[in-house]
Amino acid sequence: MSERSDKPFIGRNISVVRDLSIDEQLYLYDQTRKIKRAILQGDNVDSFRSKDSDLGCYLVFLEDSTRTKESFRNAAKFHGTKVNDFDVKSSSFAKKETLTDTIRMLYGYSARSVFVVRSKLEGTCSWLHKVVSRYSELAGLPPASFINAGDGRHEHPTQEFLDEFSFLEQLNWNNDSIHLALVGDLFHGRTVHSKADGLKIFSSVQIDLIAPRELQLPPYYYKKMLDSGYSIREFDSIDEYLSQDSLAPLWYFTRLQLERMGDKVRDKSEQLRHAVSVRPDHIPHIPASAKFFHPLPRHGTLPTIPHFLDSTAFNGWDVQSMNGYFTRIALIGMVSGVLGMDFTGQSPVELDFSGEFLSDVPVTSKHKPSFKVGIKPVDHGLVIDHIGKGDSPQVIWDHIEKIRRIMDFNCISSHGVYLGYSGKNLKGIISIPGKATMDDSQLKILATIAPNSTVNMIENAQVVRKVRLSMPPRVYGIDSIACKNPDCIAFPDNGEFVDQEFIRYGDDAFLCRYCEKPHAYREIWRD
Ligand code: NCD
C-alpha cells in the first residue's frame, strides 16, 4: 500500500491490526475523538457521514456476536448505507456453497461494498480480500473493503482499535507510555493477541501478563511483544500479582473461552477462573484510581470482573463498549472515503520478500566430488548434498523421501545417508545422473524442502555450477504446500480452495500468510 490517493482507505483490508499503519491508527483515534465529541454534544455530524446509499455494508457473522455486530450495524446506519445482515442459517452454506463463492456473489449486489466478517476460520478476511480484489480488477469494478470482526483465536482488530482508543482516553490522549495488566484467557483471547501490534502506538509499553500456565499467551504473540520492545512480566494469578508493589493503572480482563478449550483444560475451569477473577478481598490492595476494561461478554454468574464493581470507579468497560460504536463509525467513514482525505502520515510498509534463496558457491575444484560408498559417481547430472546435515538418520531419511516425492524424482538415481567430511555430522545425498540442470523454480522448491543443502551440477565429469540453498522469504504457487492449522481458512479440509502462501519466520520456520501460525519448515507439505 505505498501509492497514495486522495481517499487512502477505500477498499482496504483490515484483517489484522497492522493493516493500518501506526499513523493511520492514530488518525482513526483522532477522528473517533471528534465524532464522539460531536455526537455527545449534539453537534451537526453531517461532515462525518458517508450518505452513500449505494454502499452495501454486509454483516457476515458466522460466529455469535452482540456488541461487535450491533455496533457495526448502528455505525453503518449512522452513515446511511445499505445494511445487509447475512443470514447464515438460510443461506446456501446448507447447500455446501463455499464462503468464497458466497462473498463473490454478494460483492456484485452493490456498487461499493464493505464486508464485516466474523468467522471461526482464521485469516478469512485476508483471503476474501485477495480473491475479491482479483475479481474487481478483472471486472473493472471498485474494490471492496474487508473488516475482520474476529477470526478464531487469531485477531480482532476493530476491538483492538476501540480498546486503544479507550486507553488513550483514560490517559488524556498521551501516548508516551502505558502500563497495562492483561488478565484471563490470554491463550484463546484474540483481543489480547491483537494487543501485540495495537499497543505499538505507545512509545514505551509495560505489560503484566496474569494467567495460569494453561491460559498463557501463545509464544508467537509473546515474541512479537518482546520484539516490539515491550517489557513483560508474568504472574500466575491475581493473588500473585497483588503480592508485589508495581501494579498497572489499567487492567484488561478477558473471559475464559471454554468453548475453544479441550476437555482437559475445561475440567480445570473452576481453578483457572479462580486465578483470574477479582474477589472482594482483592479490592483494598488495588489502587482506587485503577481502571478495569473488558471486551465483554462477561460470564453471567462467574464473571472475571464481578458485578459488585459495576457502579464503582473501576468500571472502564461500559465506556469502552460504547467507544465501539464511535470507532466503527470512524472506520466505516475511512473505508467508504468520507474520512481520510486529510491524512498525511505513513501508509503501512509492504513486507519485503526480496531476499534470495540461493547463492552460487565458487567451484574450487572442477572435478566432481567422489560421492561415497553406495552412490555411483555421476559424470553428467545432479548431486544434492548436505541434506538435513547434523540431523538423526531417521530425520534425514524422511527428508530424502520427502524431496523425492515432492520433486517427483522418479528416475534413475540413488541416495543415502553418510558421514560428512568432518566425520562428525550425518547428511543425506541424492544423485541423479542424466539431469544436469535445475531451473530457479525447481531450485526454489528444493530450497523450501531442504534449506542449507547444496546442488552440484555436473557436466563431462566436472562441477560446472554449485549452489547453496536457503529458505525463501515467501513460498507460494506450489501445489504440495498447505497450512496445517485446522482452524485456518487455508486448511484444505475447510474446502475454500485457498491459494496457499507461507512467509519465512526466523531461521527454520514459515508463517501461514492467513492465520500466521508458525510451521517448522518441514511441516508445510501436504501429507
Ligand atoms: C470478544 C470476541 O468475540 O473476541 N468479544 C467482543 O468482540 N466484544 C471477546 C470474547 O468473546 O470473549
Tens of pLDDT, residue by residue over 420-469, are: 888 889 999 999 998 878 999 999 999 999 999 999 999 998 999 999 99
Report whether residue 454 contacts ligand 1, using a CB cutoff of 6 Å.
Answer: no
Q: What's residue 3's pLDDT?
A: 44
In which element (H, E) is residue 157 found? Answer: helix 157-170
What is the band of 89 on the pLDDT scale with cuts at 50, 70, 90?
A: confident
Whether pLDDT at 10 is above 60: yes
Least confident of 42-56, 182-196, 364-378, 448-462: 364-378
Whether pLDDT at 255 is above 80: yes
User: CB-based contacts of 67: which residues, under 8 Å, 6+ apart?
Assistant: 295, 296, 297, 321, 324
Report which ligand 1 atom has the smallest distance to the Cα of 321.
8
Express each pLDDT in 108-144 by its tens digit. 998 899 999 999 999 999 999 999 999 999 999 999 9
CA of residue 436 to ligand 1 center, whole Å? 57
How far apart CA 225 and CA 231 sit, in angstroms, is 8
Express each pLDDT in 29-87 by its tens digit. 999 999 999 999 999 999 999 999 999 999 999 999 999 999 999 999 999 999 999 88
- CA nearest ligand 1 atom 7, residue: 68
The residue ranking higher by pLDDT, 380 or 362, is: 380
Whether pLDDT at 2 is above 80: no
Report whether residue 331 contacts ligand 1, using a CB cutoff of 6 Å.
Answer: no
**What is the rounded average pLDDT of the residues 212-239?**
98
**What is the rounded average pLDDT of the residues 177-183?**
98
- CA nearest ligand 1 atom 3, residue: 150
How far apart CA 137 and CA 149 sit, in angstroms, is 25
Report whether residue 298 contacts ligand 1, using a CB cutoff of 6 Å.
Answer: no
Q: What's residue 69's pLDDT?
A: 97
- CA distances (Å), 14 to each of 156, 424, 449, 521, in order? 10, 50, 32, 28
How far apart CA 438 and CA 444 sit, in angstroms, is 10
The angle, 0 to 180 degrees and rounded to 10, between the axes of the packed helices 22-41 and 157-170 is 70
**What is the rounded average pLDDT of the residues 266-280?**
94
Whether pLDDT at 332 is above 90: yes
Q: What's residue 22's pLDDT?
A: 98
CA of residue 448 to ligand 1 center, whole Å? 37
The residue ranking higher by pLDDT, 493 or 374, is: 493
User: CB-based contacts of 224: which residues, under 8 Å, 6+ apart?
Assistant: 196, 197
Q: Is 264 helix (H, G, I), strand (E, B) or coil?
A: helix
Taking the CB of residue 518, how many other CB atoms lie within 10 A of it?
Answer: 18
How far apart CA 20 and CA 15 sit, in angstroms, is 9
Q: Which residues pair with 233 in a beta bridge?
A: 208
Least confident of 178-192, 412-426, 478-492: 412-426
Question: At CA 438, angle to CA 434 and CA 443, rounded to 5?
Answer: 140
Instruction: From 154, 159, 162, give the residue whose CB has the most ligand 1 atoms within 8 Å, as the site to mutate.
Output: 159
Instruction: From 16, 68, 260, 305, give the residue whose CB has the most ligand 1 atoms within 8 Å, as the site to mutate.
Output: 68
**What is the rounded average pLDDT of the residues 356-370?**
74
Q: What's residue 366's pLDDT?
A: 60
Can you say how many angstroms the Cα of residue 471 is from the centroid of all Cα atoms in its chain? 21
How far apart CA 155 and CA 455 sit, in angstroms, is 41
How far apart CA 262 and CA 278 sit, in angstroms, is 25
- CA nearest ligand 1 atom 1, residue: 295
Taking the CB of residue 285, how many other CB atoms lie within 10 A of it?
Answer: 12
Report whether residue 504 contacts ligand 1, using a CB cutoff of 6 Å.
Answer: no
